[in-house]
Amino acid sequence: MKTLMRRRKQTPKSKPLPPSKRLRLEAQRVLKERVQDIADKKGIKLRFCNLKECESHIHSVDSPCANIRMEIGWPLGVPFVHPHDLPNKAKLGFLEAYEPGWTEAHLNSDRQVNTRLTLIVTPFTSFMSI
């Protein structure tokens, strides 16, 4: 019999996700919540390009994805591919386009996590040195 494996939810006690994974998950969330809503309201079916193909035609006037990008407000210079497939720098541009201020909030949350970890580790370290 197969044992059922359950996904564990992120709890405050577990360690935070690596930045690249957190970035990927945030980009996918924004795609589902923001971009898909915009596309649905305008009656647009999202058909993403291949990353290499889109990088070659993104700056041309007659690119196959130009109209869709303009209709949904896709950020300039970011290839029209699924956010999961975007490079990390392009994911940041994507997130900033649909959620202004995301980068600043993200940097602040990283600082808070690092501060909490320092505060937790410091007493333990000083205890070990006694």
Q: What is the pLDDT of residue 41?
A: 92
- Residue 42 included in any domain: yes
Mean pLDDT to the nearest integer, 82-102: 87
Phi-psi category of residue 101: left, alpha or beta, with phi > 0 → left and psi -120 to 50 → alpha = left
- Residue 13 included in any domain: no
For residue 16, pLDDT over 50 is answered with yes
Q: Where in the sequence is the domain holding 73, given as residue range(s)?
A: 21-100
Average pLDDT, the chain: 77
Angstrom distance (rounded) from CA 41 to CA 120:
47
The domain tally of the chain equals 1
Q: Which residue has the higher pLDDT, 127 or 35?
A: 35
For 38, other C-beta atoms within 10 Å of its C-beta total 15
Q: Are 26 and 48 in contact (CB under 8 A)?
A: no
Size of the chain in residues = 130
- Residue 118 included in any domain: no
- Residue 117 included in any domain: no
Q: What is the pLDDT of residue 112?
A: 54
Mean pLDDT to the nearest integer, 72-90: 88
